[in-house]
Structures are given as C-alpha cells and as structure tokens.
Amino acid sequence: MELTQLEYFLEVARMEHLTKAAESLSVTQPALSHSISKLEAELGVPLFERKGRNLQINRYGTMFAKRVETILKEVERGKQEIEEYSSPDSGVIHLSYLNILGVDFIPHLIREYQQANPKITFKLTQGDKGLILDRVESGDSDLMITSERPVDDTYEWLSILTLPLYLIVSTEHRLANQESISLKEITGEPFVGLKQNCSLKDSLLARVHHMNFTLVSTYDAEDLPTVAGFVSAGLGVSVLPKTAGLELKGLRWIKIEEKGWVWEVGLHYKKNRFLSPATQNFVRYIEDKFN
C-alpha cells in the first residue's frame, strides 16, 4: 500500500467519478482505475459501488476513508514539522554541552546567536562527557561543546576557546602567596582529582605522566565545581581553568610555569551525519567567530 494510492482513493471518494478525479489528480483514468482496483485487492473488499463511470462509496470505503484522512493529515503535519525544524531561518538546533559551560559560556553564546537569528530555537542537554557523547552517538544531539578532542577521525572538531590552567589552593595553604609555580613542587600534596566522566581528567593525567611526577589523589569529584569546593575547604590542591562557576571564596589561583597547561573547549560533531541547514549555519557561525 503506497501513499499515492491513499491520496488517489480519497480524491475518488470525494468526487465519486473516475474521470473527474483523474483530471483533478492529473493522471490518466485507466491509471487511476488500476490504482483503486489494486487497493481493493489488497484490502480484500470493494470500496465503491460502480455505476458506469460514476462511483458511490460504500460502507467499507467510508470506514477506510476516515482512517486514511487521519493518516494523510499526520503525514502532512510531519512534513511541516520537518520543514520547521530544518529551516535555516526558523529551525531547531540540538546541542549538548558540559555542565560547567552552562554557568556562563553557553547562555551568552545562545543569546548572541538568537539576537541575530531570532526564529532559531535550541534543544539543549547538559551533562558530563559520557552523557553528551552518548547523545551525539545516538543522534539525539547533532552537536556538542566539550573540552576533549575526538579520539578518531569520524568526528569534526572546531576549537572555540583556550584557557590557561591554574594550580588552585586554599587561601590558608602554604603555597597561597606564590604568584607562579612549577607543578613539581606539589609532589606529595593531597590532590583533589576527577572521576572518569570528566574530560579534564585524562588531560591532567597525560601531562602529569609526561612530567614524571605523581599526584597523591585524596578525593575524586564528580565535576569541576565540586573540586573547587573541596580545595577551598582545605582538603587538597588541584588544577582547574579559571572560568565562571569555579571562582569560589577561599581559593588562590596560581599560574603554572610549565608550558602547555591549557583547557581547550571546542565544537564536536560527526562527519558523515546529516546536519539541517539551521545546524550548518550555526557551525559556520562558530567557525567564523572563534577561528
């Protein structure tokens, strides 16, 4: 059963005349007659009583027409929804992002974009690196803004910003008065770390390994604000980017002397996935604004 057959059936039911219905549909009368006969054969019942070229819909046809009308209306609604979602001017952008970016960066980015594109809407999901990556993998989100570059070439990466990482200590810590520090000086210090679901963890471990020193991990927090809270309470030291949501009272931010200690944030999306025109425009906006 094809959608065209259903459309033809409704037009014949409305006009109850094959020739007139064929003219209305811009098809030949034999082609229309064949389509109706094929539909009746598939359903196993006649849908019309035939009187020459005139047709009169019967009780089976009336029952079926009600369902077909509903089906075609839903199809039309579906087309309209897809058009609205994918329109470059009024579409919907499905974006996931790291929790910490929801404090300041994402709200300001969206506000600025919507000021220039007022009909665009966003469907947003925030979470840890695992959750937002799952959203992109499953297709629930088209884009994600994260701080971990893709590990394979199935993803595109557009760098957005790079922030320096700082050693953070409590204001009462013995190192609190230092303006800068070599991280080798914190060997043996209790360190407030991160659980595996935070993208900063792998980056920190790789840098520490490269410098040939070890961290004495005392706590593994779920997210960056929790790390800042533990450090401000004097429960250890850590390394964080100086960004909104982390600058708590009781913290001292110390510059790291070694090069390369930065926190990079970027746009991450699958290379071969269809992106709506609205989403493509947003990607171009990110590329033009930050690159």
Half-sphere exposure (CA, 13 Å, Cβ side) for 192?
Answer: 24
Amino acid letter at 50? R
3-state percent breakdown (helix, strand, coil) of the chain, nearest 5: 45, 25, 30
pLDDT tens-digit profile, the chain (291 residues): 788 999 999 999 998 888 899 999 999 989 999 999 999 999 999 999 987 768 899 999 999 999 999 999 888 878 877 876 778 888 889 999 999 899 999 999 999 999 999 999 999 999 988 899 999 999 999 999 998 888 888 999 999 999 999 999 999 999 999 999 998 888 888 888 887 666 677 667 666 655 655 666 778 888 889 999 999 999 999 999 998 889 889 999 999 998 888 989 999 999 988 888 999 999 999 999 998
Q: What is the dihedral of CA 43, 48, 51, 56, to 10 degrees?
A: -170
Q: Which residues contact 73 (CB under 8 A, 6 or more apart)?
A: none
pTM above 0.75, yes or no: no
Place of tokens 């007139």: 20
Best CA proximity match to 256, nearest among 163, 162, 165: 165
In order of their start, the domains of the chain are 3-85 (1.10.10.10), 92-159+265-290 (3.40.190.10), 163-264 (3.40.190.10)
| Other CB atoms within 10 Å distance of the CB of residue 256 | 18
